[in-house]
Amino acid sequence: MGRPRDPALDGAILDAAQALLEEAGCSGFTMEGVASRAGTGKQTLYRRWPSRGELLIDLYYRDPMPPPPLDGPLAAALDGFLELNLQRLYHPWHQNLLRSLAVAAQEDAALKAVMLARITRPRLELGRAIFRRAEAAGEVPAGLDAEPILEGAIGAIWFRLLFTEEPVTPALKPRLLRAMLAQARGPAPGKGTG
């Protein structure tokens, strides 16, 4: 019943949000700013997204990256995995998006859960799948603890983004890949923790 939601608005609002994110950065990203830039009322925003954070999440999901091939050799799969995590960060506005998401998640437990469910967990799960397959293929030692490898790789990217002034560039990928593979080989026979 009643007037249906204007589907074109979703895009227009997300466009406005993206532009604002690019220009005003992390702290300048306000609901009021998005509304005025999109030429909509605030209610129209809140009708679609219950909070600033959910809008950010939808912004994140807007142009989904193609998932990496899971069926190649481990190195190729991990390369895809890293590409998936890095690619968006090559554009400044997307860096601001992720930074804003990180901020929002700290201030709102509900959003943290959403972000975990819709972004973090799926990504981790994908990484786990890669390692499960590699284990089955005998590419990595049986019983390998993949968790630190994944958290280390994703964490290193976040670390760069949030706390470092060095940009996130494609040059980061091979270094991370090497690090992941080094761990994937499992405990070396020679030098140990001793």
Partner DNA sequence: CCGTAAACGAGACGGTACGTCCTGTCTTCTA
Partner DNA sequence: TAGAAGACAGGACGTACCGTCTCGTTTACGG
Residues of this chain that bind DNA (CB under 7 A): 1-6, 9, 28, 30-33, 39-44, 46-48, 50-52
Q: Which residues contact 35 (CB under 8 A, 6 or more apart)?
A: 41, 42, 44, 45
- Asked if 174 and 121 count as a contact pair (C-beta separation under 8 A), the reply is no
By CB under 8 A, is residue 43 in contact with its own copies?
Answer: no
Q: Which is nearer to its own copies, 19 or 103 (CB)?
A: 103
User: What number of chain residues touch its own copies (CB under 8 A)?
Assistant: 54
Work out what residue 54 binds among its own copies, DNA, none; the CB cut-off runs from 5 to 8 Å by kind.
none
By CB under 8 A, is residue 167 in contact with its own copies?
Answer: no
| Position among 30, 107, 122, 167 found at the interface with its own copies (CB under 8 A) | 107
Work out what residue 46 binds among its own copies, DNA, none; the CB cut-off runs from 5 to 8 Å by kind.
DNA
| Position among 24, 26, 31, 84 found at the interface with its own copies (CB under 8 A) | 26
- Asked if 178 and 158 count as a contact pair (C-beta separation under 8 A), the reply is no
Whole-angstrom Cα distance, residue 109 to residue 67? 28
R_g (Cα) of the chain, nearest Å: 20
Whole-angstrom Cα distance, residue 186 to residue 123? 22
- Asked if 21 and 69 count as a contact pair (C-beta separation under 8 A), the reply is no
| Position among 9, 70, 75, 129 found at the interface with its own copies (CB under 8 A) | 75
By CB under 8 A, is residue 66 in contact with its own copies?
Answer: no
Q: Would you give the distance in Å from CA 165 to the centre of its chain?
A: 19
Q: Which is nearer to DNA, 39 or 155 (CB)?
A: 39
| Position among 159, 167, 169, 170 found at the interface with its own copies (CB under 8 A) | 159
Half-sphere exposure of 28 (CA within 13 A, CB side): 13
Whole-angstrom Cα distance, residue 173 to residue 170? 6
Footprint on this chain of its own copies (rule: CB under 8 A): 26-27, 73-75, 99-100, 102-103, 105-108, 112-113, 115-116, 120, 139, 145, 147-149, 151-160, 162-165, 175-179, 181-183, 185-188, 190-194
